[in-house]
Chains A and B, each alone.
Chain A
Amino acid sequence: MTQAQTPPLLEVSQLSKTYHLNNSLLQRLAREPVLALKAVDRVSFSVRAGETLGLIGESGCGKSTLARIVLRLHEPTSGRIVFDGADITALPYREMTALRRRMQIIFQDPYASLNPRKSVLDIVGLPMAIQGISRRSEIRDRVVAMIESVGLKSEYLNRFPHQFSGGQRQRIGIARALILNPSLVVCDEPVSALDVSVQAQIISLLKALKRELGLTYIFISHDIGVIGHVSDRIAVMYLGEIVETGPSRSLLTAPQHPYTKALLSSVPRIDVRQKSERVKLSGDLPSPLSPPAGCKFHTRCPFVFDRCRVEAPVLRPRGPESAAACHLLEAP
């Protein structure tokens, strides 16, 4: 593989984010215990230029927080983020500005991600204005070209977000993210708020734009169908940790971690006959405030044994480019 030789565009190691709740002055005076919520727990991964890394997991698994830390929208508690060879973990906000040209984000909710008081021109043109391009005509020309390439008409330039449908709004959000020609784009559940037929339109658009502009995606979703369709590699998250990673095909056809297996077999599918035996989980997601000891998945795992309750498994290589964190997989 030639891909393997190129250095990663993004490399993240041992990244953690802990939120402290009950931490106000008053609560500290009242000696209430400080609750630590480990939203992201020692996560490491890398993304090569030109590939799409799919991040999948259920709500509250920390996938969106992880993406925002990578873009330095949230500050990591510990760990390291290296973007294109440069350590950006501690870069001050101002110095990040120049880098933000190259890393952008597409948001989940097309109703909340566009400022309702601004026109399409202002919304899509904002990144250029921030980056110091002040010529109105230059911004306008670029915005027109951009919104046309995401499938909107140039007449829409002076309209306001409330005049668009969800799918159209998402296209405006995509135009805003791509106007500075970024190399890395984080897509945070970009289609989960949309109707299925619109979802397919947006996914094809994202795939086409990736081809044309040579983008690298981190694609976050809870929908395995969508993830499987867009990703080259997939990382599965559970309660703030990556439990399995691997190339899409092998991860989806031969999942190794019991959680991945359960996730895959739980997805309702139209091709019912080709479906594998369901791995049934019991119970609910444990509270992230008090995650179970040992393997965090052990409370719901159908294959749990004694070791899982005391010792946390480590993410270990399980084949070419694959890794999983499960005691079951350890050779006896």
Chain B
Amino acid sequence: MPSTRSSATEMSAPLLSIRGLKTCFPTRAGLVTAVDGVDLDVYPGECLGIVGESGSGKSVTFASVIGLVRPPGYIAEGAIHFEGIDLRRLDSEGWRSLRGRDIAMTMQDALTALNPALRVAEQIEEVILAHAGGLPGRGRREAARQRAVEMLRLVGIPAPERRIDDYPHQFSGGMRQRIMIAIALSCRPKLLIADEPTTALDVTIQAQVLDLIGDLRRELGMSVVLITHDLGVVAEHTDRVAVMYAGQIVETGPTQQLIEQPRHPYTRGLIGLIPRLSDLDAPIRPIEGRVPELIDLGGMCRFYERCEFRQAACQSDIPMNAVAPGRQARCLRVDEIPRLKEVSQ
């Protein structure tokens, strides 16, 4: 169960703060603006969900944060601050000491993210040694190994003393995902970015991995950004959520509120198309149409083409509109949306 955020964290300064982020990829068809004007804060100790479909820019946003946008992509505009450090000004030396120690990221595909030629022990120890400020000079390797075994035990790998010398392919998908989490957490980061940590896993394993991330978050007091396409995962595991569509955030707010009363037509559509086990007869309502191409998008609502509630005024740049404290939606009709009925098919 997600912890309810206290008002104290509401007041505290954000750990990570993103302002006006714009990330572009030149392609043969033109300049793709994969992330376009994202503002986002991550507060200490919270679990923030980022939800969106493929191409929404959710992964690219956080690849930008940790400086891993794949060339030829680049950050065009915006400011990214982590504990007051300007991440866009960081040199490679600065990144080395920050990445892994203060910010860690787990990738969606654990099989390709782990080096198949190295034993798990080497891969965890490498990270620990790279940031081994607190380890004694003599016997560093021993200490690193001990820490690595501890981490594997923490993420629930049975017999870690023995299995630490195995290679990645000797583990199952769920175990590999745990190993990646162990590597990510081995230096006790303040912020863990988990990019689709469970997409490749079966539901029973998914539940185990997500519980683990939640338990570790509470234990270590870190912040977690959970990037996913699954609103169910968001509902069960996050405190706050940002919904992304076509490179922009379209709605943010406390998870429970946002899901019970979405204020953006896209969020509402997303929720409406999830089959509910509690009501099998409720029809699922697809959102017709498709995501616009992210090339030369003029100043208009990006959901306009697919929106049931569009008006003439929507053909302009739509700002984020405040709904309630801590809740915003990029829609002109935020206040009406909960009352509007769907156009029947």
Contact = CB atoms under 8 A, between A and B. Distances in A.
A and B directly contacting (CB within 8 A): yes
Interface of A: 58-59, 165, 167, 195-201, 203-204, 222, 224-226, 228-229, 248-249, 252, 262-264, 266-272, 274, 278, 280-285, 300
Contact of A268 (B235, B276, B280): B235
B205 A267 contact: no
A229 B229 contact: no
A284 B205 contact: yes
Q: Which 4 A-B pairs have the closest CB atoms?
A: A268-B232, A200-B286, A58-B202, A200-B273
B274 A197 contact: no
B321 interface: no
Contacts of A226: 275
Given A195-B229, A268-B233, A204 B284 contact: yes
A230 to B, nearest CB: 8
A282 B209 CA distance: 11
B174 A201 contact: no
A284 B175 contact: yes
6 contacts: A197-B287, A204-B284, A228-B280, A268-B210, A268-B237, A270-B271
A58 B235 CA distance: 22
A281 to B, nearest CB: 5
A263 B280 contact: no
A327 B273 CA distance: 38
Contacts of B206: 266, 268
A266 B207 contact: yes
Interface in B260-299: 269-271, 273-278, 280, 284-288, 290
A197 B284 contact: no
Contacts of A281: 204, 208
B53 A196 contact: yes
Interface string B63-79: 00000000000000000
Nearest to A151: B288
B231 interface: yes
Contact of A266 (B54, B172, B204, B271): B204
Given A167-B290, A285-B172, A196 B237 contact: no
Contacts of B229: 195-196
B129 interface: no
A262 B235 CA distance: 19
A111 to B, nearest CB: 13
B181 to A, nearest CB: 15
Contacts of A203: 275, 284, 286
Contacts of A267: 203, 232, 277
Given A228-B280, A268-B237, A270-B231, A196 B204 contact: no
B317 interface: no
Interface in B222-281: 229-233, 235-237, 256, 259, 269-271, 273-278, 280
Candidate in A59, A228, A264, A268 with the most chain B CB atoms within 10 angstroms: A268
A269 B273 contact: no
Contacts of B270: 196-197
Given A200-B285, A268-B230, A270-B231, A229 B275 contact: yes
Contact of A263 (B203, B210, B275, B284): B203
Given A58-B203, A200-B273, A268 B278 contact: no
Given A196-B273, A263-B204, A284-B174, 16 more contacts: A196-B53, A196-B229, A196-B230, A197-B286, A200-B287, A203-B275, A204-B284, A266-B207, A267-B203, A267-B232, A268-B203, A269-B276, A270-B271, A280-B207, A282-B208, A285-B172
B192 to A, nearest CB: 19
A300 B205 CA distance: 11
Interface centre among B203, B232, B259, B278 (most CB of A within 10 A): B203
A301 B229 CA distance: 29
A59 B202 contact: yes
Nearest to A249: B280
Given A197-B53, A284-B205, A270 B273 contact: no
A276 to B, nearest CB: 10
A294 to B, nearest CB: 20
B112 to A, nearest CB: 17
A272 B236 contact: yes
Contacts of B284: 200, 203-204, 229
A196 B174 CA distance: 23
A167 B202 CA distance: 23
A197 B271 CA distance: 10
A266 B277 contact: no
Nearest to A202: B286
B288 A201 contact: yes
Contacts of B204: 58, 262-263, 266, 281, 300
Contacts of B275: 203, 225-226, 228-229
Contacts of A263: 203-204
Interface string B137-159: 00000000000000000000010
Interface string B1-44: 00000000000000000000000000000000000000000000
Contacts of B208: 280-282
Given A252-B280, A284-B175, A285-B172, A266 B203 contact: yes
B53 A195 contact: yes
A173 B62 CA distance: 35
B305 to A, nearest CB: 13
Interface in B46-93: 53-54
Contacts of B256: 272
A224 B203 contact: yes
A269 B285 CA distance: 17
A201 B207 CA distance: 27
B133 to A, nearest CB: 35
Contacts of A229: 275, 280, 284
Contact of B274 (A165, A201, A225, A283): A225
B280 A269 contact: no
